[in-house]
Amino acid sequence: MAKKSFPLAKVYTLLEPGPVTLITTAHKGVANIMTQSWHTMMEFEPPLVGCVISGRNHSFAALKATRECAINIPTAELAKQVVLIGNCSGSKVDKFARSGLTALPASLVQAPLIAECYASLECRVADSRLVNSYNFFILEVVKAWVEPSIKQARTLHHRGKGEFMLAGETLKLPSRMK
Ligand SMILES: Cc1cc2nc3c(=O)[nH]c(=O)nc-3n(C[C@H](O)[C@H](O)[C@H](O)COP(=O)(O)O)c2cc1C
């Protein structure tokens, strides 16, 4: 391959992992949603997920104060809502009303689950030591819900600037040889 120099400002478009998620919070009785794609698995069990949530977002203050949220995973059918929710703030609008998505009560946290998403993970903040320096929350998934009829979820994977890749084929190989 004859690779060429690539702008540092665009490196995220190569590595941004997806799937794009919808993070819900509830603060002082008000529920909110934000679109989120900068996240990473950190541990199998209990599952730990690291998430970058900008300090400029309304969700940041809610998560910092309540230490609870839900990570909801949408499929391609919700692409328009994903973009809409990622381009307005809960400080100004009721995003459940605007997007038409349905809030369901969670079992262990105050943040609602999104009925239309194929998976929802109830989370508590496990470690906030990197929040001040990197806006990086380490979340522990305390309860997970998945729609059993969806075997191969067509999740959205952000490539930057409004471009999304859809999850497609599954390749089954032994990823560990012993
Ligand atoms: C595809 C997509 C991915 C995004 N990923 C993130 C992210 O990982 N972290 C973040 O802080 N904001 C991310 N955003 C931006 C927030 O969703 C956006 O700022 C949102 O309006 C915040 O809502 P809030 O103020 O109600 O919390 C993303 C937006 C889009 C459209």
pLDDT band at 174 (very low <50, low <70, confident <90, very high): confident
Neighbouring CB atoms inside 10 A of 46's CB total 9
DSSP conformation letters of 2-46: ------GGGTHHHH-----EEEEEEETTEEEEEEE--EEEEETTT
Q: Which pTM value belongs to this model?
A: 0.96
- pLDDT at position 108 over 90: yes
- The Cα–Cα gap between 120 and 112 comes to 9
pLDDT tens profile 122-169? 999 999 999 999 999 999 999 999 999 998 999 999 998 889 999 988
Name the residue with higher pLDDT: 63 or 170. 63
pLDDT value for 169:
86
Name the residue with higher pLDDT: 170 or 17. 170
The closest-lying atom of ligand 1 relative to the alpha carbon of residue 87 is: 21
- The Cα–Cα gap between 143 and 90 comes to 25
Mean pLDDT over 92-121 rounds to: 98
Neighbouring CB atoms inside 10 A of 39's CB total 22
pLDDT tens profile 7-59? 999 888 888 778 999 999 999 999 999 999 999 999 999 999 999 999 999 99
Cα 99 to middle of ligand 1, angstroms: 15
Q: Which structure tokens are listed for 157?
A: 């994977």
Pocket lined around ligand 1, Cβ cut-off 6 Å: 20, 32, 34-38, 52-54, 57-59, 83, 86-91, 158
